[in-house]
C-alpha cells in the first residue's frame, strides 16, 4: 500500500498540537501537566506534553502510526531543532542538507533548516517517542560562542542562514544524556524551581551534545595568509597597546574570525592576545616607573585604570612586587 502524504499544517490545524519547531522568545514558562492525546485518522494517535520557556520550546511527543505516512512541511523556521529519539524509527529529509537523518532509538542530532521543506517518513504500526528541543536562533548562537572549528562552522552557517546539521548522520545518546532526559520528564518540582531546574538540565544536555559533535581536539596548521594577518595584528598591538580592545574589534582589524584570532595568535606567539596586551602594558608601566618622574598614580592613569589601587594589584600580580616599591628603587629592575 502506498504511503499517505500529509502536510504537517493539516495535523496542526486539526489538533491543538503546538508546532515543535516554534519558539516565542519572550514566552512565559509553560505549565506542567498530563499528556494530551489526539487522534488523526490518517496519522494515528499523538500524545504530547509541551513546555515553553524564553527562547526554548521543549516537547515530549509519542506517535503511534497506523499506516505508512509521509509527513511534509514547507513552513520556513528560524529555530535550531534537536531531536533525541527515544523509540521507533523516523527517516527525515531536510531542504538544503545533502544527507538524510535516519533516527532510531538512542540516536540524536541537531538541525537548522530555515527553508522548511522537511519530509518525514514513518512506517505503519510504528511506535515513536521523541524528546524535541527548539532553540531561538539568536539565543543558540550566543550561548555556543565561537572557540573551536565546530562552533566556527556553525556560526558561519547561522550568519548566512545556511542549513546545517550538528554532524553528518546521527550520534549515540549517552547514559548521562538519558539520565538528564529522564530527570526532565520526571521533575516533580513546581513554579520557579521547576522552571530553573528544567532549563538548566536542557542547557546541560545541549553542552553534552555539542561536546560530542566537536570530537577530540585536532591540530590544524595556520595558513601562510592567516599567519601574515596575525603578524600584522601583533604589529598593530605593539603600537596601540594602551587602547582598549575587544576580540570582535581585533578580529575586524585583521580580517580573521574570532576563533582564528584566539587560536592562531597563541599558536604563533605562545600567548593569548590579551596576555600579550597585558605584558606590553605592564612592561611599559615598569619602564615608566623606573625611567620617568611619573608617580604610581600617573602611570595608573596612563594605562587607563580608574583607580590606582587596581593598577597596583594588577602590577603586583604580574611582576610580583608593588609598583611603589619598584619606584622607590628598593627592588632591582627585571632583566628582560
**pLDDT tens, residue by residue, 9-61:** 666 554 455 566 666 655 555 555 677 888 888 788 888 888 889 899 999 99
- State the Cα–Cα distance between residues 203 and 262, nearest whole angstrom: 25
- State the Cα–Cα distance between residues 304 and 313, nearest whole angstrom: 14
Strands 107-112 vs 171-172: parallel, antiparallel or unpaired: antiparallel
- State the Cα–Cα distance between residues 104 and 56, nearest whole angstrom: 24
- Residue closest to 81 by CA, chosen among 71, 90, 94, 68: 94
Q: What is the model's pLDDT at position 335?
A: 41
Q: Is this model's pTM higher than 0.75 or not?
A: no
Given a cut of 60, whether residue 219 has pLDDT beyond it is no
Q: What is the model's pLDDT at position 217?
A: 52
Task: Round the average pLDDT of the chain to a whole number and report it.
Answer: 84
For residues 196 and 325, the model is more confident at 196
Segment 281-285 long-range contacts (CB within 8 Å, at least 24 positions apart): 281/241, 281/242, 282/314, 282/315, 282/318, 282/319, 283/336, 284/241, 284/242, 285/311, 285/315, 285/323
Given a cut of 80, whether residue 99 has pLDDT beyond it is yes
- State the Cα–Cα distance between residues 238 and 2, nearest whole angstrom: 70
- State the Cα–Cα distance between residues 1 and 104, nearest whole angstrom: 23
Task: Tell me how far apart the terminal alpha carbons of the chain are, to the nearest angstrom.
Answer: 82
Comparing 177-186, 198-207, 325-334, which segment has the lowest mean pLDDT?
Answer: 325-334
CB-CB contact of 35 with 62 (8 Å)? yes
In terms of Cβ atoms closer than 10 Å to its own Cβ (0-12, 13-18, 19+), residue 250 is buried
Cα distances (Å, whole numbers) of residue 7 to 13, 75, 116? 10, 10, 12
Comparing 104-108, 183-187, 213-217, which segment has the lowest mean pLDDT?
Answer: 213-217
Amino acid at each position: 500500500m502506498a504511503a499517505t502524504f500529509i502536510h504537517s499544517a493539516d495535523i496542526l490545524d486539526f489538533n491543538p498540537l503546538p508546532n515543535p519547531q516554534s519558539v516565542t522568545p519572550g514566552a512565559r514558562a509553560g505549565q506542567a501537566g498530563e499528556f494530551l492525546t489526539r487522534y488523526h485518522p490518517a496519522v494515528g494517535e499523538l500524545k504530547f506534553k509541551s513546555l515553553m520557556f524564553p527562547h526554548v520550546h521543549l516537547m515530549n511527543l509519542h506517535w503511534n502510526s497506523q499506516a505508512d505516512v509521509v509527513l511534509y512541511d514547507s513552513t520556513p523556521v528560524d529555530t535550531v531543532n534537536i531531536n533525541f529519539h527515544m523509540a521507533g524509527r523516523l527517516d527525515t529529509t531536510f531542504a538544503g542538507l545533502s544527507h538524510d537523518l535516519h533516527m532510531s532509538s538512542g540516536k540524536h542530532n541537531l538541525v537548522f533548516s530555515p527553508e522548511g521543506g522537511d519530509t518525514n517518513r514513518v512506517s505503519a504500526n510504528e511506535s515513536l517517542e521523541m524528546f524535541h528541543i527548539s532553540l531561538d536562533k539568536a539565543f543558540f548562537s550566543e550561548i555556543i560562542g565561537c572557540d573551536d572549528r565546530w562552533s566556527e562552522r556553525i556560526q558561519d552557517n547561522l550568519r548566512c542562514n545556511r542549513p546545517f546539521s550538528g554532524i553528518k548522520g546521527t550520534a549515540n545518546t549517552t547514559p548521562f544524556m538519558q539520565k538528564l532526559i529522564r530527570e526532565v520528564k520526571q521533575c516533580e518540582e513546581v513554579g520557579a524551581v521547576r522552571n530553573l531546574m528544567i532549563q538548566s538540565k536542557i542547557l546541560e544536555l545541549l553542552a553534552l551534545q555539542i561536546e560530542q559533535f566537536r570530537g577530540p581536539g585536532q591540530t590544524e596548521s595556520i595558513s601562510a595568509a592567516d599567519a601574515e594577518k596575525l603578524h600584522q595584528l601583533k604589529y598593530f598591538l605593539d603600537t596601540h597597546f594602551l587602547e582598549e580592545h575587544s576580540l570582535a574589534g581585533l578580529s575586524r582589524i585583521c580580517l580573521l574570525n574570532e576563533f582564528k584570532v584566539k587560536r592562531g595568535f597563541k599558536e604563533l606567539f605562545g600567548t593569548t592576545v590579551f596576555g600579550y596586551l597585558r605584558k606590553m602594558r605592564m612592561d611599559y608601566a615598569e619602564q615608566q616607573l623606573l625611567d620617568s618622574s611619573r608617580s604610581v598614580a600617573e602611570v595608573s592613569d596612563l594605562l587607563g585604570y580608574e583607580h590606582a589601587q587596581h593598577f597596583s594589584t594588577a602590577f603586583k600580580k604580574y611582576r610580583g612586587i608593588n609598583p611603589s616599591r619598584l619606584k622607590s628603587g628598593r627592588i632591582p629592575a627585571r632583566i628582560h
